[in-house]
Structure 1
Amino acid sequence: MKASRRAVPDDARSATIVALRSTIVALATAFVSATGLLALLAGRVARRVVTPSARTPDTTIVDVDIVAQTITLSRSDDTVLPGRYGLFTTGTKSYVKLGTVLTARGDTVTRKLLTEIDENDRLTAAAAFSGWYFAEPGELHLPFERVMVPTALGPCPAWVFPAGQPTDVWAVHIHGRGTTRAETLRAVPVFHAAGITSILTSYRNDTDAPRSRGGSSALGATEWRDVDRAIGYARRSGARRIVLMGWSMGGAIAMQLAMNSAHRDLIEGVVLDSPVVDWRQVLTHHADSSGIPRPLTRAALGALTRPWASAVTGAADPIPWGRLDVLARSGELVTPTLILHSDGDDFVPAQASRTLRDRRPDLVELEEFERARHTKLWNYDEERWSSRIREWLDTQGLSGGAASSS
C-alpha cells in the first residue's frame, strides 16, 4: 500500500509562491538600490574631483582699523602664520595684501595691512586667505609682455618676463588646480635674478583659456599638452634649456612633461612646490579627512577610469591614475628635480615627495619646511625658499644669464 501524500491546498501553495517571489523581488530591489546608491555616491565624489574648484571663503574679517592699517581675521592654521600673504575679498576691494602678525588672541589674529584701506572701502566678512601675494604681473616691477600660446584647443594667454641679459635658459611656470598663472608670480624674481627668462602660461579650462570638451579637469593628464605648447613657444623664441616650475597640480603637470614632452631634450631641471606626486594618495587623504568610507573612495576612483561612467562622474575622459602616479613611474625619470614641501601641508601631504626622493636619490632633492601650509612656503620663509632654488640652479649650471654659442 503506497503512503499517501498530504494534499496542499492550491490557495496555500499560491500564497507560498507569491511570498517567495515577493521576498526575492525585495532582496533584488534592495541589492539594486544599495548598488545604485553606492554608484550614485561614488559618482558624486568623483564629480567633485574633476570639477574645476572655485575659491571659497575660509576666514572671516572681524575688523579693519583704517587708522592703524590693520585687519583682524578669524584664527586658523593659515592666518596665524608669519610672512606675507593675500586675502581675496568682495566689496570695494577684490584682493588685499597682508603683512606680519601683530597679535594672536583667542580665536582671532590681527595682521598688518599692506594694501591701503580707507573710510570709503567696504569689505564683506567672508574672505579667502591666499599665498598668491602678487595678483598682477606689473606688481613685480619687471619688464614683461603678454603673449598667446597656440594650442590644439585655441590660444592660451601667457606672460613672458625676459631675463636682464640674453639667455637660452627659460623657466616655464605651471600653476595648480583651480587657480591661475598669477599664483606663480612669486617665483619670477628668483629666476630673473638667476638670469633666466620666465613664461607663465595658462592651460585649458582656466578662466581666460580655451574650454575643453566637458570643461572638466583631467588632473594633469591632458593639461600638460597645453603647457608643452608653451615650451614650444619658448623654443621658437630661442630657448635651448628649459626649467619647469610647478605648483601643486602644476607639479603633476611638470612631471608629465618631464616624461612625455615632445621637447624633453630641452628639459634640464624641474622645481616643484607642494607637488601632487600621486593623485590617489592625495584624494584618499581628503576622503579620509571628510569621513568618506574607503570602499566609496575606491569606487569613485574606479569610476573615473571608466568611459561609460562619464555621465555620472562628469569626467570628459577617463583619468589614467597609473600614468599620473610618479612613484610608480619613478624609474622613467631622467631630469634633476628639486622639491620644496612642508610637513604642515595638510592639502597635499609631503609623504609622497619623501618617497620619491628615497626612490630616486640620484635625481631628486627635497627641501622640507616646517609649519608652512600648502603652496605657501615662499610666504612663510621667502629667503630660505629663494636661496634654495638659486643654489640648486647654480649647482645644475642653469643660472648665469649668458646664452650658449651652440
Structure 2
Amino acid sequence: MMGSRRAGAAGASPAAATAAKTTIAALAGALGISLAALGTVSMRVARRVVTPAGRVPDTELLAVDVAAQTLTLSRTPDTELPGRYGLFTTGTASYVKVGAVLALDQSSVKRKLLTQIGTDDRLSAAAAFSGWYYSDPAELQLSYHSELVGSSLGPCPAWFFPAADEAGEPSDTWVIQIHGRGTTRTETLRAVPVFHAAGVSSLLVSYRNDGEAPRSRSGTYMLGATEWRDVDAAIGAARRRGARRIFLMGWSMGGAIALQVALNSAHRDIIAGVVLESPAIDWRIVLDYQAHLLRIPGPVASTAVRALDSEWGSRVVGLNTPIPFDRLDVVARAAELRHPILILHSDDDGFVPADASYQLAEARPDLVELEVFRTARHTKLWNYDPERWTTVIREWLERRRSAADS
C-alpha cells in the first residue's frame, strides 16, 4: 500500500501539478498583498503619532439659546463633566466658555454659556470640548509680559508672570509650564494662580513644532526625546536671570518632556521638583491604549511602534532619528530619578491611561506622590474640581519649601 501511494503521487498529471503551482503562487501573492497592506496602514498610523495636527472636533453643537445664554452639546464622557470648560468652534466666535450642566439626557447636555452670545452670532456645529478655559493671559488679571527664549532652533515665544517672595522682592523660585501634544502654552494658564499665590514666578514656554516655536527639519514630534532641549534652554535663561530654584510642570506630553528634562538637564541641581498633570510616562502604554480605543488591529499598532523605533521606519515616517521608546519609559528608568514628583491623574483619563502613573508611584514611593481623581478625564482635573486641584499643589509646594528650609 505504501508503495502504491508513492507511485500515485509521483505519477500526478501535468494538469494537477500546474494547478498546485498556481494555487501556491496565488497564496504567496495574497500573503504579499496582506503584508504590504499591513505595512502601509502601519506607516500611516506611525505618521499620525508624530505629525502635529490641529484640534479635532469631538462633539456637536446642537443648539444655542441666546435668550437663556445656554448651549446644548452632544453627550460624551467629557461634555457631561461638571465644572468650567472651553469650546472650540468656528463662525463668529472661535472659542466660548461654558459652565454648569443644566440638563442632560441620553444624547445631549445643556450647559450655561459663560461667553456672551448675541442674536447675530453663528457657531459651527462641529466643536471641540476643552479644558483650557482661559484663552488669553490677560484674563488672569496678573502682571505678565511676552518674551522669547533662545533655543538651538531659534527663539521660542513664552509668557512670564513674575511673583514676589514673602519679603516682597522678586521671587527667585520659578515654575516652567510645559503644554501637551497638539496644544499651546495657553493650556497651562490655569496653573499660574496657584504658583503665583505661593510666591513662584511662572514661565509658560513653547517648544519645537508646536505651532509657535521654530520648526525642526522634520517638523515632527519626538514625544519628548528632543523637545526637552527647548525647555532646558528656558531653565538656563531663568538661571541667568537669578532663578535659584525651578519647578517643572508638564501636561500630558508635556509631562514626558518634563521628565526628560529632570533626567537629562545640565541644570538638574536647581530643579526643586516636578508636577505632572495627566502625564505620558510610558509611550508604549499610551499608544497601545489609543490603538485599542480607535480599534486599530494589534499587528498594525505594534508594527507602527516598531517603525518609529527603527532606522528604516523612522526614515519612511519622516523622522531624522528613531524615537527612543526605552529612553522615554520613565517607569523603567525610575531608579535614575532624583527630584520630588507630584502626579495628578484621573482613572477615566480617556487618552493617556493612568497605569504608568501608578507604576511610577509604586516604583519610587520615596519621591512620587500620586493624587488620583476618579472622574475628571484628560487634563481637565482643574476644571472638574479646582479647589481640590489647587489645594493638592499648594500643600505639595509648602512641603517642598519646608524641606528646602530644613
Shift of 1:288: 1.5
Amino acid at match of 2:58: D
Shift of 1:160: 0.4
Q: Which portions of structure 1, spanning 4 or more consecutive aligned residues, are displaced by more than 4 angstroms? A: 15-25
Correspondence 1:244 to 2:251 = no
Correspondence 1:321 to 2:354 = no
Query: 2:126, 2:88 → 1: CA distance?
Result: 9
Contact conserved, 1:44 with 1:312, CA < 8 A, in 2? no
Quick one: which of 224, 232, 235 aligns to 2:236? 232
Alignment of 1:121-200 (within 5 A): 121-164=121-164, 165-200=169-204
Distance 1:80 1:20, change over 3 A: closer
Shift of 1:375: 0.1
Shift of 1:24: 5.3
Deviations 1:207-264 (A, max 9, x none): 1211111211111111111111111111111111110000000000000011001211
Alignment of 1:264-303 (within 5 A): 264-303=268-307
**Mind listing any 5+ residue stretches in structure 2 that lack a counterpart?**
1-6, 8-12
- Look up the match of 2:310: 306
Alignment of 1:295-374 (within 5 A): 295-374=299-378
Correspondence 1:77 to 2:81 = no
Shift of 1:310: 3.1
Secondary structure, aligned partner of 1:184 = helix
Shift of 1:47: 1.1
Deviations 1:1-30 (A, max 9, x none): xxxxx9xxxxx76x7876666555444433
Shift of 1:387: 0.8
Contact conserved, 2:357 with 2:370, CA < 8 A, in 1? yes
Amino acid at match of 1:286: Q
Secondary structure, aligned partner of 2:174 = strand
Secondary structure, aligned partner of 1:109 = strand
Alignment of 1:212-227 (within 5 A): 212-227=216-231
- The two structures have a TM-score, normalised by structure 1, of 0.92
- Look up the match of 2:214: 210
Contact conserved, 1:86 with 1:98, CA < 8 A, in 2? yes
- Look up the match of 1:34: 34
Amino acid at match of 1:148: L
Amino acid at match of 2:109: V
- The two structures have a TM-score, normalised by structure 2, of 0.92
Q: Which has the higher contact order (CA 8 A, sep 6+)?
A: 1
Contact conserved, 1:40 with 1:312, CA < 8 A, in 2? no
| Same amino acid, percent of matched pairs | 61
Query: 1:121, 1:18 → 2: CA distance?
Result: 73
Shift of 1:53: 2.8
Contact conserved, 1:216 with 1:316, CA < 8 A, in 2? no
Query: 2:205, 2:223 → 1: CA distance?
Result: 17
- Look up the match of 1:394: 398
**Aligned residue pair count:** 390
**Mind listing any 5+ residue stretches in structure 1 that lack a counterpart?**
1-5, 7-11
Correspondence 1:257 to 2:261 = yes
Contact conserved, 1:47 with 1:313, CA < 8 A, in 2? yes
Contact conserved, 2:315 with 2:321, CA < 8 A, in 1? no
Deviations 1:105-135 (A, max 9, x none): 3321111111111112111111110000001
Query: 1:62, 1:38 → 2: CA distance?
Result: 39
Query: 1:207, 1:79 → 2: CA distance?
Result: 27
Shift of 1:342: 0.7
**Aligned-residue CA RMSD (Å):** 1.9
Shift of 1:67: 1.7
